[in-house]
Amino acid sequence: MTRAGIDVPTLIQRCGLRLADLEDKRLRTPHAAQQQFWQVLQELTDDPDIGLTLARHLPAYHGQVLEYLFLSSPTFGEGLRRAMNYERLLSDALQGQLRRDGEVAILSLNLPADSQRPFIELLAFGVIEFFRKLTADSFAPLALHFSFKHGANAEQYQALYGCPVLLGREENSLHFPAHWLDTPSPHAEPELLALHEQVASERVAELERQDLIYAVRKVIAEHLESGELSLEQVAEQLGLRSRLLRSRLASANSSFNQILGDYRCRLAKRLLAGTDESIDQIVYLTGFSEPSTFYRAFRRWTGQTPVEYRRSRRGVSDS
């Protein structure tokens, strides 16, 4: 976005994020939480083809375990299938499927129905560029199918992707010559392959633990105003036994009370700094039953009273 001349600090601020959040390579933003980003981006740029604009500046994906899985596999096809087993490392929304139709291989990029057009266009471009990199720029797609009905013109797509693009199709999919599936990898290495699969499995397990924390936060956000929340109530909403939820959170180096306290703290600070809501209303919105309990908790979080914090933060964005 910076290379495309977009006002990134303003964009990030309007999305309620911090630039520092983008520097942590371990973090993943759930697909459900990305819709606001695309809406703000399109409003800020007023560019109907923002996905294509950004694609022209998108660096090739490299240096991650998925690339190593690809390179150390015996063939391009086996590398692709292995990488698809760990696609959670890229996104919680993507569910790829690979099939062969005669001389054509079809990689389906199955995404939620609410996926924004720019995200789909960027994803397709990223996949093609990744394949080109793995094959020393020899990979050439035959066609792309997009599920959305309205997009850029055919010439723009052809110039970007190097192949025809068909809109209004049943799925988002990349079509390419099937001979690539059987093409040997010059970097095939069985011992390294086993190591890379182990690392990929560990990374996926770590992300699944983060997914659980996100799910708990989501339940808290939806039910906090109803009053005090318990681990048992959240576990019921998630369809888990409370003992299992407690154990899984502990495995993620977290706890229900820690997540609840962190959510309340962030919400209270945001409301105090960015709104004129009364303290009594903020007590209610953060799920406390008594103002005195809220005051004690807030002083423990920040070392200040809510009134002191509001005065100190007027005109300053939440950290």
Per-residue confidence of the chain (319 residues) as pLDDT tens digits? 999 999 999 998 888 777 777 777 666 677 777 888 898 999 999 999 999 999 999 988 876 788 888 889 999 999 999 989 988 888 888 889 999 999 999 999 999 888 899 999 999 999 999 999 989 999 999 999 999 999 999 999 999 999 999 999 999 999 999 999 999 998 898 888 888 889 888 888 888 888 888 889 989 988 887 777 899 999 999 999 999 999 999 988 899 999 999 999 999 998 998 888 999 999 989 988 889 999 999 999 999 999 999 988 775 544 4
Measure the CA angle with vertex 57, ends 53 and 60; round to 5°.
Answer: 130
Write down the pLDDT at residue 315. Answer: 54
State the Cα–Cα distance between residues 25 and 5, nearest whole angstrom. 23
Q: From 255, 259, 217, select the one nearest 238 (Cα to Cα).
A: 217
Q: How many C-beta atoms lie closer than 10 Å to residue 245's C-beta?
A: 21
The pairing of strands 173-177 and 104-110 is antiparallel
At 77, list the tokens: 């096809």
Write down the pLDDT at residue 63. Answer: 63
Q: How many residues does the chain have?
A: 319
At 70, list the tokens: 């690809």
Write down the pLDDT at residue 259. Answer: 93
State the Cα–Cα distance between residues 146 and 168, nearest whole angstrom. 6
Q: Where are the beta strands (DSSP E) in 84-180?
A: 95-101, 104-110, 143-145, 165-166, 173-177
Residue-wise burial string across 266-299, b where 16 or more C-beta atoms lie within 10 A, e elsewhere? ebbbebbbeeeeebeebbbbbbbeeeeebbebbe
Q: Running DSSP on this structure, what letter comes out for residue 100?
A: E
Q: How many C-beta atoms lie closer than 10 Å to residue 227's C-beta?
A: 11
Q: Answer left, alpha or beta for residue 30, where phi above 0 means left and psi between -120 and 50 means alpha.
A: beta
For residue 238, give the H/E element and its range: helix 231-238
Write down the pLDDT at residue 205. Answer: 86
Write down the pLDDT at residue 73. Answer: 93
State the Cα–Cα distance between residues 179 and 110, nearest whole angstrom. 23
